[in-house]
């Protein structure tokens, strides 16, 4: 029997791919801008040592730097999107490397600016900050001055800038190994049909109703990581060591403080998340116990935690229909928001389907001068793909409003608030679907089940990931070796804490951390959990309070990076310095579990 293989890039119709023409019409246009940028790098020398020489020259230096950075972002965005279309394409991999290289060289050439600004006499700084012509750059300058205790002299900053390309090696090696070299073989589905196993369809297999299929896929998938565990452990350990190098080079107490500093987020917010979630694990244990009983199995394994516990519900939604559903779901945000979202998702923002060599997962990306592009690996038979679409669309709409309402210097919002915009949209989708299927108890239970699993994965799971990052970095900060055995032991202990006795922890699951790409961007994942908590609170406000809350939320999207993230969220109506949003999110999870239990018991719904 012929196996179903992943399509090659050339086999994907153009209408299903993103349109990168707004960035560059041709490869030649990219090369022309690249050549011009290389020439312009030398202009930095015009301003070196002269930032104290008056407002006019200072403003010219800042605007030159921002303009060059903006052009490099165009180069990089195109190159990384093209490279992600097919990671085996060496031409675009080379283009990506050229973009990274010119960014590194620009950072090196510009490395004098930050320490020179920070060395300006207070009288000069106050005069610049008070000058009307520099008003647009005030927050930008305040952020630079805030980093003064963590900035080296000009020559040391130059060396640190030169190190960036080398420091990216662990992430680059992991990306190539994980997306290109790892092969997972083929798997027979319940009908005996051989299908190539990939990152893109792994989760689809895990929602397969046939347990023997799920079990085989789980162990076969993890066998690839077990076969490469020492290499993957080495790449992750050196990524953590890279974080330690930069935190010490910049005079931070630890890696986490260094990572949180740019967002002005105190460690207490991070620790508060972990402590609050760990103190409230009982709703999770209750759900997993209920899942085990409904599935009718003696012991719950990881490969049993994603399959819908509602039987005989076949989900199928072509991409175009998914877009229409998303547009209807976000209607509480107004007609304009829904229209812009729908038009973008259908007209060139999105690279829709998996192809051989394509980067796994999904993301929203772009730059100030491009549409807010979305990479997907959309699966019509997986409801998670629908949620992924509206999640990434939330990011892209955030980018759309930010770029439309903020100047380049302030347009780039932080990841901390980005996860609010994406999970806010997911919550609206769940509300829409639950109302759509309110007369269908089986479908309503199916949606409740999916929403519960989403919160479980975002709040509880990402918090566990956040604690793993904290613990693994603490090892290197104590000057201890971060080996495969050490990391695996840390992860195993966390699995035991966060799952209690509700889950059989197969040894392969202890290697799960080796496949998480976000660990190469340290102290990132906690933002999923805080973002979800904030999003649930804000979505509830918009739905219940109406127009004032809707305006406040849309104004929040328009802020871009013009304020620190906690200040932006406070303006939108939620205080993340408090445990209240996290506690409310867990209470919401508990309520959904109770609703699922009630509807399934009341209608005798069960899974096979």
- Nearest CA among 31, 500, 531, 555 for reference residue 281: 500
Please name the residues in contact with 601: beta carbons below 8 A apart, sequence gap of 6 or more. Answer: none
Q: Say if residue 281 is exposed, middle or buried (CB neighbours under 10 Å; 0-12, 13-18, 19+).
A: middle
**Residue 392 bears catalytic tag:** yes
Structure-block tokens of residue 36 = 């011009």
Q: Using an 8 Å Cβ cutoff, are 554 and 333 in contact?
A: yes
> What are the φ and ψ backbone dihedral angles of 187, each rounded to 5 degrees?
-130, 140
- Nearest CA among 118, 126, 111, 129 for reference residue 59: 129
Angstrom distances, CA of residue 31 to CA of 38, 96, 325, 378: 10, 12, 40, 32
Angstrom distances, CA of residue 20 to CA of 345, 389, 395, 502: 14, 19, 18, 47
Q: Return d(Cα 414, Cα 495) in angstroms, integer.
A: 30
- Tokens 């904290």 found at: 470
Q: Using an 8 Å Cβ cutoff, are 373 and 18 in contact?
A: yes
- Nearest CA among 179, 209, 217, 213 for reference residue 89: 179
Angle at 493 between CA 492 and CA 497, to 5 degrees: 120
Q: Are strands 373-375 and 363-365 parallel, antiparallel or unpaired?
A: antiparallel
Please name the residues in contact with 21: beta carbons below 8 A apart, sequence gap of 6 or more. Answer: none
Q: Return d(Cα 550, Cα 548) in angstroms, integer.
A: 5
- Nearest CA among 608, 524, 77 for reference residue 256: 524
Q: Return d(Cα 276, Cα 268) in angstroms, integer.
A: 11
From the candidates 116, 157, 392, 426, give the one annotated as an active-site residue.
Answer: 392
Q: What is the DSSP letter of 305?
A: S
Angstrom distances, CA of residue 442 to CA of 362, 426, 499, 509, 598: 29, 21, 27, 31, 12
Structure-block tokens of residue 460 = 């509880």
- Tokens 């998303």 found at: 326
What percent of the chain is helix, strand and coil (3-state, nearest 5)? 70, 5, 30
Length of the chain (residues): 608
- Nearest CA among 593, 449, 590, 582 for reference residue 526: 582
Q: Using an 8 Å Cβ cutoff, are 378 and 353 in contact?
A: yes
Please name the residues in contact with 401: beta carbons below 8 A apart, sequence gap of 6 or more. Answer: 554, 557, 558
> What are the φ and ψ backbone dihedral angles of 363, each rounded to 5 degrees?
-160, 165
First to last CA, the chain: 29
Structure-block tokens of residue 151 = 């900035």
Q: Return d(Cα 523, Cα 155) in angstroms, integer.
A: 28
Q: List, by residue number, the catalytic residues.
A: 392
């Amino acid at each position: 029997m012929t196996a179903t293989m992943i399509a090659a890039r050339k086999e994907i119709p153009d209408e299903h791919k993103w349109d990168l023409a707004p960035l560059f019409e041709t490869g030649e246009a990219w090369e022309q801008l690249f050549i011009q940028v290389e020439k312009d790098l030398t202009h930095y020398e015009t301003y070196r040592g002269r930032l104290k020489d008056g407002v006019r020259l200072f403003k010219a230096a800042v605007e030159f730097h921002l303009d060059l950075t903006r052009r490099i972002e165009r180069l990089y965005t195109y190159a990384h999107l093209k490279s992600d279309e097919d990671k085996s394409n060496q031409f675009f991999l080379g283009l990506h490397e050229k973009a990274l290289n010119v960014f590194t060289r620009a950072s090196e050439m510009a490395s004098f600016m930050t320490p020179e600004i920070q060395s300006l006499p207070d009288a000069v700084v106050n005069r610049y900050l008070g000058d009307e012509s520099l008003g647009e750059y005030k927050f930008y300058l305040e952020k630079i001055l805030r980093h003064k205790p963590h900035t080296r002299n000009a020559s040391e900053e130059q060396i640190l800038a030169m190190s960036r390309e080398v420091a990216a090696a662990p992430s680059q090696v992991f990306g190539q190994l994980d997306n290109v070299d790892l092969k997972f073989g083929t798997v027979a589905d319940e009908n005996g049909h051989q299908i190539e196993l990939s990152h893109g369809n792994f989760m689809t297999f895990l929602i397969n109703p046939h347990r023997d299929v799920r079990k085989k896929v789980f162990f076969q998938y993890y066998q690839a990581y077990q076969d490469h565990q020492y290499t993957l452990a080495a790449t992750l350990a050196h990524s953590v060591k890279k974080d330690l190098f930069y935190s010490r080079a910049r005079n931070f107490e630890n890696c986490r403080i260094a990572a949180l500093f740019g967002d002005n987020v105190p460690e207490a917010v991070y620790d508060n998340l972990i402590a609050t979630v760990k103190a409230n694990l009982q709703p999770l244990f209750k759900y997993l116990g209920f899942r085990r009983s409904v599935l009718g199995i003696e012991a719950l394994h990881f490969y049993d935690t994603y399959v819908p516990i509602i039987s005989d519900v076949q989900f199928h939604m072509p991409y175009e229909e998914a877009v229409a559903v998303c547009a209807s779901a976000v209607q509480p945000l107004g007609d304009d928001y829904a229209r812009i979202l729908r038009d973008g998702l259908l007209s060139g923002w999105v690279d829709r389907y998996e192809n051989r060599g394509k980067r796994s997962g999904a993301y929203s990306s772009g730059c100030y001068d491009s549409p807010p592009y979305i990479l997907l690996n959309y699966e019509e038979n997986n409801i998670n793909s629908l949620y992924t679409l509206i999640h990434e669309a939330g990011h892209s709409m955030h980018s759309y409003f930010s770029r439309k309402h903020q100047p380049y210097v302030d347009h780039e919002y932080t990841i901390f608030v980005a996860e609010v915009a994406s999970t806010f949209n997911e919550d609206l989708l769940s509300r829409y679907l639950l109302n759509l299927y309110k007369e269908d108890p089986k479908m309503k239970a199916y949606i409740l089940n999916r929403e519960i699993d989403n919160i479980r994965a975002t709040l509880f799971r990402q918090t566990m990931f956040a604690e793993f990052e904290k613990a693994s970095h603490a090892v290197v900060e104590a000057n201890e070796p971060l080996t495969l055995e050490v990391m695996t032991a840390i992860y195993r202990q966390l699995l035991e804490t966060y799952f209690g006795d509700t889950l059989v922890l197969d040894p392969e699951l202890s290697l799960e951390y080796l496949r998480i790409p976000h660990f190469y961007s340290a102290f990132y994942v906690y933002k999923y959990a805080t973002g979800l908590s904030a999003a649930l609170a804000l979505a509830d406000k918009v739905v219940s309070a109406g127009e004032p809350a809707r305006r406040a939320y849309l104004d929040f999207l328009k802020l871009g990076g013009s304020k620190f993230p906690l200040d932006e969220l406070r303006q939108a109506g939620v205080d993340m310095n408090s445990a209240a949003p996290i506690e409310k999110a867990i209470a919401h999870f508990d309520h959904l579990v109770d609703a699922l239990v009630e509807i399934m018991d009341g209608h005798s719904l069960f899974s096979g």
